[in-house]
Amino acid sequence: MGISLEQKTVSAMIRVYCRARHPATGRSPCPDCVALEKYAHQRLLQCPFREAKPVCSDCTVHCYSKTMREKIRAVMRFAGPRMILRHPMLAFVHLFRKIISRVR
Ligand SMILES: [Zn+2]
């Protein structure tokens, strides 16, 4: 599982969330969600574990700022179950758990 796949996953989740929660902004995510997406990508790039990231329960790094953590958690809570329904592969579920671990 590479970093870029995680970035794609985060982007997909933000899109699902924005389309449902901020429908007035149309097809592309609203400025707020674009900013959140950029921030999340940046955090993934700067993850000290990189490719060797530990799984959720072992992750000790809380790299999100308080505000951004709350925003991304809202996205995960909303988009997570919907994404898993659409991509019911075990690999995806595992990836999702890894990402979620960072925002706890
Ligand atoms: Zn939005």
Domain ranges of the chain: 3-101
Residues 6+ away with beta carbon under 8 Å from 77: none
**51-70 tens-digit pLDDT:** 665 544 445 556 778 888 88
- pTM, 2 dp: 0.71
C-alpha dist (Å) from residue 32 to 5, 80, 88: 22, 19, 29
Give residue 52's pLDDT: 62
Residues 6+ away with beta carbon under 8 Å from 34: 28
Q: Find the 25 Cα to ligand 1 centroid distance in Å.
A: 7
Q: Find the 28 Cα to ligand 1 centroid distance in Å.
A: 9
Q: Find the 93 Cα to ligand 1 centroid distance in Å.
A: 24
The rounded distance, in Å, linking the Cα atoms of 56 and 59 is: 5
| pLDDT(18) > 90 | yes
Q: Find the 58 Cα to ligand 1 centroid distance in Å.
A: 31
